[in-house]
Structure 1
């Protein structure tokens, strides 16, 4: 439930950010007021595209038959990769996103090209929605009964929290700034991607496609059991395991080493582009 709540919250806030920037620009530019219906049409189209993807994923899983477990394991890795991509994309575009959107809107308003607005918003909403769909599929595919109900509840709570968060962010940083929001959620997203990676590796080991090497490598359940309430939250959100296999530890360490190198390589590059 915690993973579902967090990803719906974060993705919804990002989509609301794009919609909010465009809506505010239209509200302050009378010549663009007629484009608002195209804006909301783009939102609706983006949601439809995300829903089509969701239906397509579940249909594809059913068609996989005996290979359904492998398909679901693959989707876990895809979800982890999309989360990392989300973090990198926002690092690259977060500072200039408002300026880029407003300049694009100004050009479209001059040409009275509202189809472009519809397409822009649809793509933005579909992008956030598709990332959420892929992630939620990797969670829902293995859930049953009461777990599905809790995940659905988590999704609703995540969306409500997104509305509240966006409202707080719109207060101009008095209570919560965009900078702080993206910094904190960036760390949480990277931890979540690591947790998904570990989950995917464990699925491959259960299918005997990867060897555990040493299982368990250690047992820290005396300090914090990953089946306890606190331990389970850490396991879901960070990938913590009280008695992990060596393969899982190597994957976890490799992930963080790769992320450290990637972020250090991209940081000077982004500074040069911003200059």
Structure 2
């Protein structure tokens, strides 16, 4: 439930922030006609994302076992790639996110282009919704309790909408940098678990047959149907019998990304500014 809650909350809040800023600009300009188009665009993007998720689930369910495991592997790795890009991008832009969005919206209005704002809201919801659909699908496939996973996703998305509306109305102040860093840590843990799960399903699909030596026996600890199993296997992706290739990939993904995510922001900013400075001419 925790992974899907964080996914729904984080992705939903990103989309809510963009839509809220666009709606606020249009409302202050008295462009109610364009505002209606924004809501229609948001609704269309949500419907498209739901359809994509349902189609992927139907295709996966109708495949033979080996091909189903292969598709789950592809979806899992795609979700890992998306969350990695999202975490890295947000690490760099979270402090200035709102200002950048307001600047882009202001420039669009200055050019008299309400369509650009409608497209901005539509594409924002479509992008975040598509990422959410793929990531949630991978999380559902790895979860031991799809019902709880779905409940967590719904609660996270609803909370994101409430927070986004509160920020839009000015009644809620949120430190976006700290928020995205905290949720980023959880998402990195979930993504590392998806790496292990993807390698596990890849082996069952017959794609990965090396590094299958067991490194531990956790069957006494990870009992199916228990809360511990839901946490260790459902969230962290650790199997009752982890093998060498899974543990190695989990470590190689988790450790560097956590170090990057938790490294003090000021040091990263200094290094980036130094890299942008022109080199002295000898």
Aligned partner of 2:197 in structure 1 is 199
Q: Name whichever of 161-170 and 96-105 sits farther off.
A: 161-170
CA drift at 1:209: 2.5
Q: Name whichever of 152-161 and 86-95 sits farther off.
A: 152-161
| TM-score relative to the length of structure 2 | 0.78
Sort the Cα spacing of 1:149 and 1:256 in 2 relative to 1 into closer, same or farther, 3 A.
closer
Aligned partner of 1:188 in structure 2 is 186
Matched, 1:105 2:98: no
RMSD of the TM alignment (CA)?
A: 3.4
| TM-score relative to the length of structure 1 | 0.80
Aligned partner of 1:216 in structure 2 is 214
CA drift at 1:37: 1.8
Q: Does the Cα contact within 8 Å between 2:108 and 2:117 map onto a contact in 1? A: yes
Aligned partner of 1:72 in structure 2 is 72
Superimposed CA distance per residue, residues 210-250 of structure 1 (whole angstroms, 9 cap, x where no aligned partner): 2363543123566x546541353143223345542111111
Give the whole-Å Cα distance in 1 for the aligned partners of 2:198 and 2:83: 14
Give the whole-Å Cα distance in 1 for the aligned partners of 2:81 and 2:218: 29
Structure 1, unaligned runs of 5 or more: none
Q: Aligned to 1:121, what secondary structure does the other structure show?
A: helix
Matched, 1:16 2:16: yes
Q: How does 1:139-158 map to 2 (within 5 A)?
A: 139-140=139-140, 147-158=145-156
Q: Does the Cα contact within 8 Å between 1:216 and 1:245 map onto a contact in 2? A: yes
Aligned partner of 1:38 in structure 2 is 37
CA drift at 1:90: 1.3
Q: Does the Cα contact within 8 Å between 2:3 and 2:187 map onto a contact in 1? A: no
Structure 2, unaligned runs of 5 or more: 278-282
Sort the Cα spacing of 1:5 and 1:212 in 2 relative to 1 into closer, same or farther, 3 A.
farther
Paired positions, count: 268
Sort the Cα spacing of 1:130 and 1:38 in 2 relative to 1 into closer, same or farther, 3 A.
same
Matched, 1:116 2:152: no
CA drift at 1:142: 7.2
Sort the Cα spacing of 1:153 and 1:213 in 2 relative to 1 into closer, same or farther, 3 A.
same
Superimposed CA distance per residue, residues 115-135 of structure 1 (whole angstroms, 9 cap, x where no aligned partner): 111111111000110001112
Sort the Cα spacing of 1:212 and 1:193 in 2 relative to 1 into closer, same or farther, 3 A.
same
